[in-house]
Amino acid sequence: MRSINIAIISGSQNTSQYLARQLSDLLGKYLSFVPFSKEEWVKNETDYDLILLSTQTIFTHQPLLKVKTSLESMVIRRTLLKSSWDQVLSIQSGSKWLLYNDERESAEETVSLLYELGARHIELIPAFPSMEKIPSITSAITPNEYKIIPPNITEVINIGERVIDVSTIVDILTRFDLLQEDTQHIVSDYTKKIITRSQGLHVTMEGLIKTTKVLQQTVNMVQDAVIAYDHQKNITIFNKAAEEIFALSSWEVAGRDILSLFHDEKLTRETLDTPFTGVPFIIRNQQVIMNHISIENGEVETVSGGVLILQVAKKLEELELKIRTKLKTSGHQAKYAFQDIITESEEMMMLIDMAKKMAQSDLNILILGESGTGKELFAHSIHQYSTRAAFPFVAVNCSALSESLLESELFGYEEGAFTGARKGGKPGLFEQAHRGTIFLDEIGDISLSFQKRLLRVLQQREVLRVGGTKVIPIDVRVISATNRNLLDFVKEGKFRADLYYRLKVLPLSIPPLRERGNDILQLANFFLRRNGWNKNLSAAVSEVFLQYHWPGNIRELQNTMEYLSIMNNGHITTKDLPFLDSLAYKPMAATNVDKPLSEFFKLSKEDLSLFILQSILSERQKGRSIGRRGLWNIAQQRKLLTSETEIRILLKELHEKQWIKVGKGRQGCHIVEKGLYQLQNGVNGINRM
């Protein structure tokens, strides 16, 4: 048999080697494990059958984005040995302990693990060497990190390094079809040594593997026909779906030669020696698709039996149509792609490139931006560009639903969970988004109590329905969006810091329309043409559009163009603009005073340049820095008809002429010698301001 090679990637070589040793001790007979630090992995050019990651956030490191998207990856789940867990349980209830680890992320993960395993009787506070202010607590728990414990800690419990959870062992075995009787014994023995995060898992496996009755009941629940046979080709399992296809009962065929069911020359003893998939057969005048799995004897590498799985072609077509119809009627599919984003802005082009890179990972994305900037458009596009594009895209507006309704919609509910609950219950949106993407819009509007439950879903990747007792595992990529300043909310205690950083693994900030330059006119003419207007905007109207602040961003622009395409007399003029006579028009956005357009006057390009030079010099003499936004605010106070875009272009030109220097960030602009000369000798067109 071909050797199966698995790569293990961690933040450090020591950790990856420790994980590789654990797995090799358990499964080295069947699989080969190769440890890598993240730096070593970047240089690797060998393909592996599977990649195991020490943490979910390992892909936030830029070099690791070079991992081929075709390679399957899995995050290792960790737990504790029973001996370590006993030490935790012995701690006095109600006491406070530090959880000391080498890095913040590791400390927080270990705290989450202990709480998940049931350590609710104590309060744990994550601590690490780079922490700015360590709480004055003298008791600490550490996962084998004695060397970093500060001297003021008088009581230390060492729980040892975290070990691999049995659920990860089972996932690996299942991935390579190795979950058989001898590996079941390995899993069962290992489970006795650890505190498993899935306590009933090994009991369920033993029942399925050792009890023929339970196995028969299981295959009878499968909609496809399942026929198993032994090494002599005699039938051992014949489920109810197979009975329907062949019109034979299981007791009639038990022990019969498998080939006696078929009269097609394509199925012979020789063809049953190798696996195959998707082979069409005709059985009782109906077309079926047959798949074959050979069961090998692991010790001597001989075939000891096999399984035939038959699917009725008509039922497959009906099922596919039903799924597609249901997804379309429920709206669970993305409607937009990156090519639908209309822009000429260099900043937006860079933003789209960033979003495409983010789409290739499964990490959480937080989209920030004012209302109407196109956050949902980006969410749709990211899903369409990702490997999950063939699966559902579920969007929910968190601010549109009450807390109780949002809980039942996202997590689902069981029958009888509350008055009016649907008979049979209802799956939540997280379940419906399985293997796809869920988009949580207006995430900043959810309550603190709901934030706590959402955080658990994101951490554990499983949901518990309202009124239910069974956890349901989910595989969902989460994209959230908000027009709120979540960091301010965190500082004010309105938003949980742990949820904020869980959502903001990959941040994406969309600029407002007023900062996108010519995109305003490009989008305006696009919306006009879409509404049947075949002319571009006039120069006068275009100039007003560039001066307007567009507080509603693209949504307001779209509504404006729909209005203009109807409310005009054959030509669109400035008199037709709906915002000129409303309070929405605020060219002095930095103040509370509305200024009509007629009160503003336009400077020539030369005079506006001199105005900029004089304003920079004046602010510098006062010991203040000034940039594009500050210059625009001063222009509005002086009643100058200009825009941030025009000022930005002029600043660039003045910088290229070496009249000014444009600093980064908040450094603002500086006037230099050539600029001072021009200011002193230029045409003084600014005295009238």
Does residue 68 register a pLDDT over 80? no
Is it the case that residue 156 has pLDDT exceeding 90?
yes
Segment 121-142 mean pLDDT: 90
Q: What is the pLDDT of residues 228-237, one digit of tens each?
A: 888 888 888 8
Is the predicted pLDDT of residue 199 greater than 50, yes or no?
no
Residues whose CB is less than 8 angstroms from the CB of residue 377 and which lie 6 or more positions away in sequence, other chains included: 336, 340, 341
Residue 225 pLDDT > 80? yes
Q: Which of 313-327, 365-379, 415-429, 565-579 has the lowest mean pLDDT?
A: 313-327
Q: What is the pLDDT of residue 592?
A: 32
Give how far Cα 355 sits from Cα of 226, 275, 523, 543, Å. 44, 41, 21, 32
Q: Which residue has the higher pLDDT, 633 or 687?
A: 633
Better-predicted residue by pLDDT, 25 or 582: 25
Residue 36 · residue 9 · CB < 8 Å: yes
Cβ-based neighbour number of residue 120 at 10 Å: 9
Cα angle 116, 119, 120; round to 5: 95
Provide mean pLDDT across the span 362-370: 92
Arithmetic mean of pLDDT over the chain: 80
Q: Is the model more confident about 76 or about 415?
A: 76
Burial 631-640 (b: 16+ CB within 10 A, else e): bbbbbbeeeb
With 60 as the cut, is the pLDDT of residue 684 above it?
A: no
Tell whether the torsion through CA atoms of 517, 518, 524 and 527 is positive or negative. negative
Convert the pLDDT of each residue in 309-360 to its tens digit. Answer: 888 766 655 555 455 445 444 557 788 889 888 888 888 889 999 999 999 9
- pLDDT tens for 464-510 read 888 777 788 888 999 999 998 888 899 989 999 999 999 999 999 99
Cα–Cα distance measured from residue 357 to residue 689, given in angstroms and rounded to the nearest whole number: 49
Rounded mean pLDDT, 582-606 = 48
Whether the per-residue pLDDT at 208 is higher than 80: the answer is no
194 has pLDDT over 50: yes
Residues 6+ apart with CB under 8 A from 458: 364, 478, 499, 502, 503
Q: Which residue has the tokens 């498998």?
A: 258
User: What is the per-residue pLDDT for 601?
Assistant: 62
CA distance 680 to 689: 17
Pairing of strands 5-10, 50-53: parallel
User: Which of 131-136's residues contact partners 24+ apart within 8 Å by CB, and which partners?
Assistant: 131/104, 134/98, 135/96, 135/98
Nearest to 382 by CA among 346, 444, 336: 336
Q: Is the pLDDT of residue 256 over 60?
A: yes
Please report, rounded to a whole number, the percentage of residues in the chain having pLDDT higher than 70. Answer: 83
Does the pLDDT at position 586 exceed 80?
no
Least reliable range by pLDDT among 101-110, 171-180, 198-207, 499-508: 198-207
Q: What distance in Å separates the CA atoms of residue 194 and residue 185, rounded to the nearest whole number?
A: 15
pLDDT, position 219:
65
Per-residue DSSP letters for 513-524? GGGSTTHHHHHH
Beta-strand relationship, 155-158 and 139-142:
parallel
Q: What is the pTM of this model?
A: 0.44
Q: What is the predicted pLDDT for the residue at 95? A: 92
Amino acid at 569: N
Reply yes or no on whether the pLDDT at 70 is more than 60.
no
Give the pLDDT confidence score for residue 251 in this predicted structure: 67
pLDDT tier at 22 (50, 70, 90 boundaries)? very high
Residue 355 pLDDT = 93
Q: Are 80 and 143 in contact (CB under 8 A)?
A: no
Digit-coded pLDDT (tens) for 645-667:
788 888 888 988 889 888 776 67
What is the rounded average pLDDT of the residues 126-144? Answer: 90
CA distance 550 to 553: 5
Any idea which of 169-183, 188-202, 524-538 has the lowest mean pLDDT?
Answer: 188-202
Residue 47 has pLDDT above 80, yes or no: yes
pLDDT at position 6 over 90: yes
pLDDT(72) > 60: yes
**Higher model confidence: residue 215 or residue 185?**
185
User: How does DSSP classify residue 450?
Assistant: H
Cβ contact 443:481 at 8 Å: yes
User: Mean per-residue pLDDT for 365-391?
Assistant: 91
Cβ(394)–Cβ(439) below 8 Å: yes
Could you give the percent of the chain with pLDDT greater than 90? 15
Rounded Cα–Cα distance for residues 125 and 140 (Å): 9
Over residues 518-531, the mean pLDDT reads 86
307-310, long-range: CB < 8 A, 24+ apart: 307/226, 307/227, 307/228, 307/229, 307/237, 308/225, 308/226, 308/227, 308/228, 308/229, 308/258, 309/224, 309/225, 309/226, 310/224, 310/225, 310/227, 310/241, 310/242, 310/245, 310/281, 310/283
Distance from C-alpha of 295 to C-alpha of 2, rounded to nearest angstrom:
16
pLDDT at residue 685 in the model: 38
Q: Which residues contact 330 (CB under 8 A, 6 or more apart)?
A: 432
Band of pLDDT at residue 2, cut at 50, 70 and 90: low
CA dist 542 and 520 (Å) reads 9
